[in-house]
Structure 1
C-alpha cells in the first residue's frame, strides 16, 4: 500500500459517521470510522476509484479529487497540503550526501550570542548550531554525527526527555512535523532507518507514527525545565533558508524585559564562560 493510501485509511478510521452528518448505519459497525463507500459518497467519487486510491493503484490524481477527499475527511490545511504533495511526489533514487551549511549561515549562528539557534536538514538532522543552542539542549559536538538528529534525541536521549515540561505534546508534534517533512523524501533510505530505529526502541513513537498525523513546523512556544536556569518558556520560529531550501533555521527567544528573557541571558552568558561551566 502507498503512503497516500495509508494516510487516507488512517484518516477514514479517525472519523465517525456522526461527525460528517451520516446516520450510524449498522450496529455494531464492522469497521472503525467511516467505510470506503461513505468516503466515496462524501467526496463524490466512485467506490472503485476511492478503493484504488487507498490501494495505491492510481498513478495520477486531479485537484478536484483531492479537494473532494479533503472535504470528506475533514482535512486540515496541513493535511490537505500533505495529500497534494504525496499525490505528485516521486520516490528518491538514493539518499543525498550529508548537507553542508554555508559559511555565512554559520557566521549568523555565531553572531546570535544570546539566541539559541540551529540549522536543521532533512529528517531534522542537526547540521549546525551555536553555543547558546548547545547550552539550551545538549552538546551536539560531543555526539556522533549520525546521532545529531532532533527527533532521535527527543525520544532516545534522557536529557531531552527531561528538558520539556510537556514532553508528550512536544514529541507528538515533532513526529507529525517529521512526517510532513518526509513527504519530500519519499524513498529516502536514511529516513527509513530513522523511523525503523525509533519504532523499535520507543512505543510512543511507533504509535504516533502509525497515527499518520501531520503538521507543518512554523513556530510556537516551548515550556522547559532547564537544569541551570529552571523553568523557562521560549518562543521558537522555523524559517527556510532561501539559498538552501532543504535547510531550516530555528531560533529560540523570549520577550524582552521578562523573567524568561533574563533566564535566557543568564544561560547564554554561562555557556560562554568556561569558569562558570566548570
Structure 2
C-alpha cells in the first residue's frame, strides 16, 4: 500500500497545511514550489521545532502529546470536526470535550423543535439550563418563557418549584434519576465549574438534593417514560434524548404521547 494509506496522520496534516494562505499569516507567498504553509512555518505557529514537526508528518517520533496536538490544531486553523479527526488519527480517541459556556441555538435547531407540534421538546445544556423549547413543552412541561433565564434550570425547578413537584406522581424517582444523570452528563461535557456551583447551591438549599448527591449514583438519560399530572388528567409521555452534533454541551429531549388518549390531552393543552 502507498504512503498515503500507511501514514494517514501525515497525509491529513499535509493536506490541511496546503490549504492555508501564507499571506494571511504574514508569510511571504513568493518563491513557493507548493501551495500553503511550509513545515517550518506550521512549526513556528505551533511553537514546536521544525525537525519535530517534520517527523510528525513523516510518521516518526512516536505519538505526540495532547498539548502539542492542540497547538498543531491551532496552527493549522482546524475546525472542531478536523481537530477531532486529528486526535483520532494520532491517539485513536477524540480529544477532551471543550465546555462551551455560550451554546448556539441555530434557526435550524429551533425549526426542528417547532416541527413537533404535539411532542414536547427542549434543548438543554450540560448544566441542565433549558435554552430552547417548543410550544408543546411550554404547555405540557413548564412555561419556560415565563421564567427568567437563570430560573430555567431543570434541577432547580425539580427541587424548588412546587408546581413541578406537584405534577410528578413519582417525584422521588424523578429526582433520583435526575441527579444521577446530571452527574454523568456534566462529567462528560467538562462543565465542572458550572456543575460545582449548581451542586453547592442546591446542597445548601435542599437537603433532599444533598442526600441524593452523596449517593454518587450515575445513570444515562437515554429513553424512558414520564408521567405528568394536569387538570385534564395524567399524561404519559415516552422520551428519548439525543446529542446535538458539533455542540457537545447541548442535548435534545423529545417527549411523545404514549397513547391516543395522551395525545388528545396534549392537543387540548397546546390549543388552550
Q: So what's the TM-score if we normalise by structure 2?
A: 0.61
Q: Which residue of 2 aligns with 1:231?
A: 234
5 Å matches for 1:158-173? 158-173=162-177
Q: Which residue of 1 aligns with 2:110?
A: 106
Cα 1:187–1:180 change in 2 (3 A) is: closer
Q: Which residue of 2 aligns with 1:216?
A: 220
CA contact (8 A) 2:189 2:248 kept: no
Q: Which residue of 2 aligns with 1:141?
A: 145
1:170 positional shift: 0.4
Cα 1:230–1:180 change in 2 (3 A) is: same
1:101 positional shift: 0.9
Runs of 4+ in 1 over 4 A off after TM superposition: 88-92
Deviations 1:197-230 (A, max 9, x none): 1111111110010110000110101112113x22
Distance 2:267 2:250 in 1: 27
Q: Which residue of 2 aligns with 1:204?
A: 208
Cα 1:190–1:241 change in 2 (3 A) is: same
CA contact (8 A) 2:123 2:252 kept: yes
Q: Which residue of 2 aligns with 1:254?
A: 257
Deviations 1:167-217 (A, max 9, x none): 000011000000011212457222111111111111111001011000011
1:260 positional shift: 1.4
Kindly indicate whether residue 248 of structure 2 is the aligned counterpart of residue 245 of structure 1: yes
Q: Which residue of 1 aligns with 2:267?
A: 265
Distance 2:267 2:190 in 1: 41
1:125 positional shift: 1.2
Deviations 1:34-69 (A, max 9, x none): xxxxxxxxxxxxxxxxxxxxxxxxxxxxxxxxxxxx
Aligned residue pair count: 179
1:129 positional shift: 0.3
CA contact (8 A) 1:237 1:250 kept: yes
CA contact (8 A) 1:89 1:184 kept: no
Instruction: Give unpaired runs (5+ residues) of structure 1.
Output: 1-87, 271-278
Larger radius of gyration: 2
SS of corresponding position for 1:245: coil
Deviations 1:65-106 (A, max 9, x none): xxxxxxxxxxxxxxxxxxxxxxx99797xx743212111010
Q: So what's the TM-score if we normalise by structure 1?
A: 0.60
1:243 positional shift: 3.4
**Stretch deviating more after TM superposition (230-239 or 179-188):** 179-188
CA contact (8 A) 2:97 2:248 kept: no
Q: Which residue of 2 aligns with 1:153?
A: 157
Cα 1:182–1:245 change in 2 (3 A) is: closer
Distance 1:186 1:104 in 2: 26
SS of corresponding position for 2:119: coil
CA contact (8 A) 1:117 1:250 kept: yes
Cα 1:246–1:90 change in 2 (3 A) is: closer
Q: 2:133 aligns with which of 129, 137, 159?
A: 129
